Amino acid sequence: MGETIVQKLFRNRLGKPVKPGEIVVVDIDLAYAHDGTGPLAIDAFKELGSNRVKDSSKIRFIIDHASPSPNEGASNLQLKLRGFAKENTIKMYEVGEGICHQVIPENENLKPGMFIVGADSHTVTLGAFSLFATGIGSTDLAEVMTSGKLWFKVPEAMKVSLHGGLKLGVMSKDLVLRIIGDVGADGATYMSAEFQGDGVETLSMASRMTVCNMVVEMGAKNGIFPLDEVTMKHVDTSGLRDKSIFKPDENAEYAMSLSYKLDELEPMVAAPHNVDNVKPVKELEGLEVNQVFIGSCTNGREEDFELAAKILSKKGVKKGVRCIAIPASRRIFLNLLRNGIVDKLVSAGCTVTHSTCGPCLGVHFGILGSGEVAVSTSNRNFKGRMGNPESSIYLASPATAAASAAEGVITDPRKLIGG
């Protein structure tokens, strides 16, 4: 039987073939934590009796969740993170530099086939760069800081074939929401979601990051796109000898196979209070909206804001609606400023702020009131996710979010951009 991509990545690292379900120990190339998980990892590190990080060049800390700090408790946790980083010469990304899953690919030398772990479930985002990336707990991160290694169970794989291209007004967020709706919140538990087909080449790196970001919402261990011309513009391929490891064998065995014609997809929305409660936007049109959030590690990149600005420039934000736009990194923020996108968003009535996780985790920058409804481009809509268990969150693409902000109700973006 042939090998899936994830099997090939483990074989390449270990120097021997592996089978799904096999327990292996792997050298980690890069590990990171943010201000929410890093302090816990430091505690666990000390409980292990460790005195010094084994290889600080492979560890990164990012302050992004409570950024800047909204209270004394968060400030003290961030002080703890900074102190440990200084003691162990760990590279820190400070307040305003961006969200960890965006900052890492922008600033680190990513290579196809790397093994990257992060103390955050959405570390899976980095699978867009043809590497193995997955989220881990703070205790596991402490082990990585101590030994530089971590154990894994080799995942089964699910095959997701993509064909054609997305139509105007439909985004990769709609694709991944459709997949999650089809598979369910735990339908792909501990699987490697492997994307292939002629449709892959039509997706930008930002679009691929959106898709990989959300595979964990159906239980996947990781998501991965093949190495192609798009990928190679964003990674370091020097020293890469065998590109065949990024393509599955034709006779590879999968636990599940799905196929989508991208040009047949329509805008989708995940309704409260579960990410797999997915419906076409047409079934929810007309629902009144109080707040719209465009941003997060899922949809806070240039192409997201460019399309949002195009939609909002026509009508502006509806009176009575709050629209918050937060770029995923300082670099993206600066590019949006230079390109005039921020000006368009502010002129349309949006509140644009520095890069932070913001309202996504319900700490600050847009906590909802009781009974309020939000349309968000983030990745989770559980009760209380945006700070109030008495509110409702609808997950959607930046296009759908912008259209809903313009109309004041959930709206199919194709009506405003001619798709």
The pLDDT assigned to 224 comes to 98
The pLDDT assigned to 380 comes to 82
The pLDDT assigned to 359 comes to 83
The pLDDT assigned to 244 comes to 81
Encoding tokens for residue 258?
A: 């799905």
The pLDDT assigned to 387 comes to 63
The pLDDT assigned to 355 comes to 86
Residues 6+ apart with CB under 8 A from 15: none
Under the phi-then-psi rule, with left for phi > 0, alpha for psi from -120 to 50, and beta for the rest, what region is 89?
left
The correct CATH number of 1-154 out of 3.60.20.30, 3.90.870.30, 3.40.50.720, 3.30.499.10 is 3.30.499.10
The pLDDT assigned to 376 comes to 95
The pLDDT assigned to 126 comes to 98
In the CATH scheme, what is the code of domain 267-412? 3.30.499.10
Rounded Cα distance between 209 and 214, Å, is: 9
**Tens digits of residue pLDDT in 16-73:** 999 999 999 999 999 999 999 999 999 999 999 988 899 999 999 999 988 898 899 9
| Range 155-229+254-266 has CATH code 3.60.15.10 | no
Starting at the edge strand found earlier in the chain, the sheet holding 59-62 runs 91-93, 59-62, 30-34, 115-118, 132-135
The pLDDT assigned to 242 comes to 78
Rounded Cα distance between 390 and 105, Å, is: 36
Encoding tokens for residue 138?
A: 């703070």
Encoding tokens for residue 105?
A: 């690919």
- pTM, whole model, 2 decimals? 0.94
What secondary structure letter does DSSP report for 132? E
Ranges of the chain whose pLDDT falls below 50: 419
The pLDDT assigned to 361 comes to 77
DSSP characters for 249-288? -TTB--SEEEEEEGGG---EEE-TT-TT-EEEGGGTTT-B
Cis peptide before 354 (omega within 30 of 0): no
Q: Do domains 1-154 and 267-412 have the same CATH topology?
A: yes
What secondary structure letter does DSSP report for 116? E
Rounded Cα distance between 26 and 20, Å, is: 15
Q: Tokens 């709609």 belong to which residue?
A: 174
Encoding tokens for residue 204?
A: 């930008």
Amino acid occupying residue 292: V
Residue extents of the structural domains in the chain: 1-154, 155-229+254-266, 267-412
The pLDDT assigned to 284 comes to 97
CB 240 within 8 A of CB 111: yes
Query: For residue 400, with 0-12 CB atoms within 10 Å meaning exposed, 13-18 middle and 19 or more buried, which class applies?
Result: buried
SS3 at position 357: coil
The pLDDT assigned to 418 comes to 65
**Tens digits of residue pLDDT in 95-119:** 999 999 999 999 999 999 999 999 9
Helix axis angle, 100-107 relative to 205-213, nearest 10°? 140
